[in-house]
Amino acid sequence: MTKELDPDSISPKHYKDIIPGYEYMDTMFYILKDFNGIEAHLLGQMYKYMMRLGKKDNDIQELKKVQWYLNYLIQVKEGKEPKDIKE
């Protein structure tokens, strides 16, 4: 039995028209296409929270999420392994 997904659960309002004419996934594809692995993931998370700032959750909460992912990315770029990263 296949259950169809609700289009609004895949592409909710806070991810539409971030840049006029482009949805979230279009934008993410463009800005992350030259990155790989954990770096692409961490950047994607930061972009996601920055793009929806003021559109979904509390602004401070969203900015703290960006900060968490940025701090993690800095540690990755410094060459630290996941077991050595301080969260």
pLDDT band at residue 87, thresholds of 50, 70 and 90?
low
Q: Pick the residue with more confidence: 3 or 27?
A: 27
Structure tokens at 2: 């296949």
Q: Is residue 85's pLDDT more than 60? A: yes
Instruction: Give me the pLDDT at residue 13, please.
Output: 62
Q: What is the pLDDT of residues 36-71, one digit of tens each?
A: 999 999 999 999 999 888 888 899 999 999 999 999
CA 14 to each of CA 11, 21, 23, 26: distance values in angstroms, whole numbers, following the listed order: 8, 14, 10, 14
pTM for this one?
A: 0.73
